[in-house]
Amino acid sequence: MRMSATEEYGLRCLLVLARQGTEGQMSVSDIAEAEGISVPYASKLLAIMRQAGLVTAVRGRKGGFRIRREPSEINLLEVITKLGGPLLDPDHCAKRTGQLEQCIHTDNCSVHDILGSLAGKIAGFLAGTTLNDLIEKERLMVLPRVGSDQSDAKQIQG
Amino acid sequence: MRMSATEEYGLRCLLVLARQGTEGQMSVSDIAEAEGISVPYASKLLAIMRQAGLVTAVRGRKGGFRIRREPSEINLLEVITKLGGPLLDPDHCAKRTGQLEQCIHTDNCSVHDILGSLAGKIAGFLAGTTLNDLIEKERLMVLPRVGSDQSDAKQIQG
DNA sequence: ATAATACTTTACATTTTTGTAAGGTATTTG
DNA sequence: CAAATACCTTACAAAAATGTAAAGTATTAT
């Protein structure tokens, strides 16, 4: 019940691009360096996000990646599910069958039911947080109360 | 961001015992059969839960497993974390460092921050559901409106 | 006592996930 | 047009999770 490596590193790479805005652009090697991961790994994660429509790739000498939409318009649910698949595997019941052909709890599965409810809760939370929220939060963490008091600063979650 | 196999099958085995109550008892082979998994696998999962104090093992010829507390007194957070570890890995930041010695976002990690919030939400949800809730829900699924109308039956979650 | 039953432990095989490597394709600059 | 740069794709290696096997220990019934 944890965030996978793909999901986390993918999100982190996307955040690097989000900080540049939709007009900005960065090469894979710069992104990899920014996150402390290898270039091939960053490359792989960005390829997934490109195919998912989250980022655009520009090839050639002045190439690089850029984020496709405003960070305030991209929520975490979209990012996480595009990197790691849906929160509740669509053929969950076909996979968790143990040694049997079919799961023993076909018409009677409170576990599956509760997983659905849980997935809904998680989805709601993730959908309510955008990349921009994360970036804003970062700023507050780096610069705790610069200048005047910032107690009125936007709170990400309660 | 999904429930692991260990967590799910472990929970399912525990539910089998929960249905018997604290006085009941079942052998590993019966539990394995009830869930459609192999005996050695069920054995392994039950051993984890025994060490975690969720079940008691009785050895010898009339041996078996029994649940240690009332199903209404065991919530899913406890079960899931004892099977799969804490929702947010305590040394998360020490592991997701990419190729670096230390994570690049040490003092500045909005991702970690949001993971903490998310883990809290998930924990709250899981803590609010007991094994008994799941069993009750099952009954309603097997016997939809037996006898008179049951629209006033207990709802597990909204 | 002894055999049968059932939990216990350790080791290992398999599968999935994670991360790396290498060769290919496209674009820009001189 | 050629060389440099940067993305793209496929295949593969390493690590972790999943599931199996086998030999050991404890208890009960005969």
Amino acid B67 reads I
Burial status of residue B126 (CB atoms within 10 A of its CB: 0-12, 13-18, 19 or more): buried
Give strand letter and number of the nucleotide nearest B45 (CA to C1'): D19
- Is the distance from CB of B18 to CB of B66 less than 8 angstroms? no
A50: Cβ contacts below 8 Å, ≥ 6 apart? A56, A57, A65
pLDDT surpasses 80 at B149: no
> Beta strand A55-58 with A64-67: parallel, antiparallel or unpaired?
antiparallel
Residue of chain A whose Cα is closest to the Cα of B126: A118
Partner-chain residue, chosen from A2, A76, A142, that has the shortest CB–CB distance to B89: A2
Cβ neighbours of A157 in B, within 8 Å: 114, 117
Lowest mean pLDDT among A33-37, A46-50, A116-120, B60-64: A116-120
Cβ neighbours of B84 in A, within 8 Å: 1-2
What is the model's pLDDT at position B153? 42
Partner-chain residue, chosen from B15, B99, B109, that has the shortest CB–CB distance to A36: B99
- Is the distance from CB of A18 to CB of A53 less than 8 angstroms? no
pLDDT surpasses 70 at B83: yes
Determine the average pLDDT of the residues in A73-96: 94
Question: B155 vs B113, which has greater pLDDT?
Answer: B113
Lowest mean pLDDT among A2-11, A134-143, B58-67: A134-143
Lowest mean pLDDT among A25-39, A128-142, B117-131, B132-146: B132-146
What is the model's pLDDT at position B145? 59
- pLDDT tens across A113-156, in order? 888 888 998 999 999 999 999 999 888 887 766 555 544 444 43
Q: What is the mean pLDDT of chain A?
A: 89
Which residues are paired to B65 by β-bridges?
B26, B57
pLDDT surpasses 50 at B151: no
- Is the distance from CB of B120 to CB of A156 less than 8 angstroms? no
Residue of chain B whose Cα is closest to the Cα of A100: B36
User: How many beta carbons lie within 10 A of that of residue A34, not counting itself?
Assistant: 17
pLDDT surpasses 70 at A6: yes
What is the model's pLDDT at position A73? 98
> Beta strand B55-58 with A64-67: parallel, antiparallel or unpaired?
unpaired
Question: A62 vs B155, which has greater pLDDT?
Answer: A62
3-state secondary structure of B50: helix
Determine the average pLDDT of the residues in B59-81: 96
B44 touches strand D (CB under 7 A): yes
Partner-chain residue, chosen from A111, A121, A129, that has the shortest CB–CB distance to B114: A129
A63 touches strand D (CB under 7 A): yes
User: How many beta carbons lie within 10 A of that of residue B68, not counting itself?
Assistant: 16
Backbone angles phi, psi at A117, to 5 degrees: -65, -45
What is the model's pLDDT at position B158? 31
Residue of chain B whose Cα is closest to the Cα of A90: B2
pLDDT surpasses 60 at B150: no
pLDDT range class, residue B152, cuts 50, 70, 90:
very low
- Is the distance from CB of A101 to CB of A95 less than 8 angstroms? no
User: How many beta carbons lie within 10 A of that of residue B87, not counting itself?
Assistant: 20
The CA-atom distances, in angstroms, between B65 and each of B47, B76, B79 are 10, 19, 16
The CA-atom distances, in angstroms, between A70 and each of A81, A135, A137, B153 are 18, 12, 17, 46
Q: How far is A157 from chain B (nearest CA, A)?
A: 8
C1' (D7) to CA (A68) span, angstroms: 17
What is the model's pLDDT at position A144? 67
Determine the average pLDDT of the residues in B109-130: 90
Give strand letter and number of the nucleotide nearest B6 (CA to C1'): D18
CATH fold of the domain at B5-86+130-142: Arc Repressor Mutant, subunit A (1.10.10)
Q: What is the mean pLDDT of chain B?
A: 89
Amino acid A19 reads R
| DSSP state, residue B66 | E
Which single residue is written with the structure tokens 């392994």? B44
Q: How far is B59 from chain A (nearest CA, A)?
A: 26
- pLDDT tens across A67-84, in order? 999 999 999 999 999 999
pLDDT range class, residue B155, cuts 50, 70, 90:
very low
What is the model's pLDDT at position A156? 37
CATH code: domain A5-142 is 1.10.10.10
- Is the distance from CB of B154 to CB of B137 less than 8 angstroms? no
| Size of chain A in residues | 158
CB contact under 8 A, B122 and A157: no
